[in-house]
Structure 1
């Protein structure tokens, strides 16, 4: 790690936290800068991906961030207030309070798949809580990283928000800094490295990881309706979304109908994907090759490719029916436009299938039956549960976003983001009237009687 970054961190940690007026001012300025430069943001992301659908970037990178800022500005005055209540009756009339306090300097480590959003949304939470911030954008999306540095410099001084550009070595060393909190978004494999590095200083972490997010379809749910949502969620950003449906579980006697519905919806949403501006590229040749190789060894009759693409870094939407469960496509997060469909006997066997594997970041259920919904909600573990729709739960500022187990720890968005970036300090206020000595040594006969009375 360059020596000046350690010095920069020490300097930032020596400065006071941002006061409330500065937080509000900076968040308003940030919203204005994003709005003014949204065309440049979309262009930079497009360059990094060789092609990213403009509307996808507008929706997922710009609008969601602006909504998060506006929600935060609307509520932050209430969030920063200490919450006070009377203590337990035995200590009356003393009071207890929880007072939010900035943690200090927060480190944000962002991935490449949504390179702007996954810097800005955690940054909003960190600033709302009064922290100073060091940001490490992904080196894979270098154009966006450079633009982020330029745009944040229009709002913050380097002692308020400091952007660190560099390769994997810099990212690894960044996570070794004695920061006051780190929020990392990325793969589970890299998350383990970040956790190991942070443990040296006992740095608290929020880890937003990934995993294989399953789709369950209720017996009586209309497959055409389910297919429409699955297609729009899976192939948004060509499947390069941590929340994208990773595989579908459905009864074997409904697979053919589901296949037909999915193919129709794909053809309707992404006709001629090689030339369709609505269909995004794979981010780089390495990930293109990784996804191509992921189909190796699967029987040809199991692979259903929709309009083969032999152009640039695009991969056609591809359905894979009942691949071997030991195959890599069912062992690793796909993070691309390939969607396995797995046959199962019934809902109970689908739940067993999910529960025998690592806890996913999200679970999708298509059902209008309240008993089915309750069963899945209570009998499965996942970072989130989305019913009858895909992806859009990420855009709800009132819903915490985060995983469980190997899909992550901690969460953010809205108030939960403010809490994650704050130390919620416990404060006890002793009143002038203090009877606590009645339960302290020396234990006289009177005190013993009093303790017996309140027991």
Structure 2
């Protein structure tokens, strides 16, 4: 685990190493990109194992696709185009051309970039923006979510083996390290995560007037039109919501269905999910909830909805003893027309619950979305 003092030392080292007048050359940037690529390719089984250990149960194929292939694809694309990107771009001079004046745009690096990645895709959302920043000539420091400590520790260890801290470094630690990390005098700070934490990051960065990029979750709706292909639509909704047990910020958070098609879609979605996940316990393809706090939060949402009389449909085809607190497994649950003041209607769910609302006209559906909390 990184101490606050060690974090400051690495930050100061990168600040000293960065020189705006002499940014990293094309060759130096490609070298760092190759080192990150080797870090991933050489250690795919170890990275998958670490993430599975942090979750307790998670689909290895999902880890491969969601966490490891993205940075590799980005590196390949960047190396294909980087030489051209770093060249000055000639611009039209307008009337100034009559004087023989030529105009060029020079793309200059910013300096030292901080990146904070979330637990649901801790490697991808750390390394993907990192390779882009490095390609632009910046130095990079990464803080991986404390909710995935084994993954964070492994990526830190590997980065120390494959890279030089003056170019790229990983820091680990709990919330106190994250708070100090976001308060450093970055040239740019990138954060991916929840809205409430995003507010804290933005507040910590404000005294330094740090440019901040926030990639936050929210209430992502899906509107199903009356003439939609029902089988295909139900399959897409079911598979989207079940990925990583709903712990994906771009998942469908709630669905709007035509009132007269509700029961048919409920049957189709239930059948689709039962086919994809006939069992939950010891099913490596079904992800556990990341930690006890998140598990309790999701169960609290379901308990509140149940107490208020919400129609809840638990999809448990094998009649297993779930929710399972020891394994942090919660079955996929449909919540039909929950009251607007319930947590599952107001807050981002980020778990295996799909709220379904009905509408009678498209204008009504649009008005519902516009009046709904979206972050």
Map residues 99-110 of structure 1 onto 2, 5 A cutoff. 99-110=106-117
CA distance in 2, matches of 1:301, 1:295: 9
Q: Secondary structure at the match of 1:102?
A: coil
Residue 287 of structure 2 aligns with which residue?
Answer: 280
Map residues 199-210 of structure 1 onto 2, 5 A cutoff. 199-210=206-217
C-alpha contact (below 8 Å) 1:12/1:159 kept by paired residues: yes
Residue 340 of structure 1 aligns with which residue?
Answer: 355
Map residues 183-194 of structure 1 onto 2, 5 A cutoff. 183-194=190-201
CA distance in 1, matches of 2:5, 2:149: 23
Give, in angstroms, the shift of residue 253 of structure 1. 0.8
Give, in angstroms, the shift of residue 6 of structure 1. 2.9
Give, in angstroms, the shift of residue 270 of structure 1. 0.7
Distance 1:301 1:137, change over 3 A: closer
Residue 74 of structure 1 aligns with which residue?
Answer: 80
CA distance in 1, matches of 2:102, 2:88: 12
Give, in angstroms, the shift of residue 70 of structure 1. 1.2
C-alpha contact (below 8 Å) 2:35/2:163 kept by paired residues: no
Residue 32 of structure 2 aligns with which residue?
Answer: 26
CA distance in 2, matches of 1:320, 1:247: 9
Residue 145 of structure 1 aligns with which residue?
Answer: 152
CA distance in 2, matches of 1:347, 1:18: 54
Compare CA radii of gyration and give the structure with the larger one: 1
Q: Secondary structure at the match of 2:84?
A: helix
Gaps of 5+ in 2: none
TM-score of the pair, normalised by structure 2: 0.92
Q: Secondary structure at the match of 2:108?
A: strand
CA distance in 2, matches of 1:30, 1:2: 25
TM-score of the pair, normalised by structure 1: 0.76
Deviations 1:19-60 (A, max 9, x none): 211111221232222112100000000000011111111111
Give, in angstroms, the shift of residue 229 of structure 1. 1.1
CA distance in 2, matches of 1:117, 1:33: 13
Q: Secondary structure at the match of 1:65?
A: helix
CA distance in 2, matches of 1:343, 1:117: 36
Give, in angstroms, the shift of residue 152 of structure 1. 1.6
Map residues 323-402 of structure 1 onto 2, 5 A cutoff. 323-359=338-374
C-alpha contact (below 8 Å) 1:45/1:144 kept by paired residues: yes
Aligned pair 1:213/2:220, yes or no?
yes
CA distance in 1, matches of 2:349, 2:146: 21
Deviations 1:252-283 (A, max 9, x none): 11111110110111011111122322111001
CA distance in 2, matches of 1:182, 1:357: 29
Give, in angstroms, the shift of residue 190 of structure 1. 0.9
CA distance in 2, matches of 1:269, 1:7: 49
Q: Secondary structure at the match of 2:213?
A: strand
Q: 2:168 aligns with which of 139, 161, 166?
A: 161
Deviations 1:74-133 (A, max 9, x none): 122222222212212256342333211111000011111111111111111111111111
Residue 317 of structure 1 aligns with which residue?
Answer: 332
Q: Secondary structure at the match of 1:100?
A: coil
Q: CA RMSD in A?
A: 1.6
CA distance in 2, matches of 1:310, 1:188: 27
Aligned pair 1:268/2:283, yes or no?
no
Residue 389 of structure 1 aligns with which residue?
Answer: none
CA distance in 2, matches of 1:236, 1:141: 18
Q: 1:306 aligns with which of 304, 310, 315?
A: 315
Residue 441 of structure 1 aligns with which residue?
Answer: none
C-alpha contact (below 8 Å) 2:346/2:373 kept by paired residues: no
Q: Secondary structure at the match of 1:286?
A: helix
C-alpha contact (below 8 Å) 2:346/2:372 kept by paired residues: no
C-alpha contact (below 8 Å) 1:274/1:310 kept by paired residues: no
Give, in angstroms, the shift of residue 286 of structure 1. 1.1
CA distance in 2, matches of 1:109, 1:247: 27
Q: Secondary structure at the match of 2:106?
A: strand
Q: Secondary structure at the match of 1:31?
A: helix
C-alpha contact (below 8 Å) 2:241/2:251 kept by paired residues: yes
Q: 2:48 aligns with which of 42, 53, 63?
A: 42
CA distance in 2, matches of 1:357, 1:322: 14
C-alpha contact (below 8 Å) 2:4/2:180 kept by paired residues: no
Give, in angstroms, the shift of residue 160 of structure 1. 1.1
Distance 1:298 1:3, change over 3 A: closer
Distance 1:138 1:56, change over 3 A: same
Q: Secondary structure at the match of 1:154?
A: helix
Residue 83 of structure 1 aligns with which residue?
Answer: 89
Give, in angstroms, the shift of residue 358 of structure 1. 4.5
Q: Secondary structure at the match of 1:178?
A: coil
Number of residue pairs aligned between Structure 1 and Structure 2: 360
C-alpha contact (below 8 Å) 1:250/1:346 kept by paired residues: no
CA distance in 2, matches of 1:256, 1:87: 64
Aligned pair 1:6/2:8, yes or no?
yes
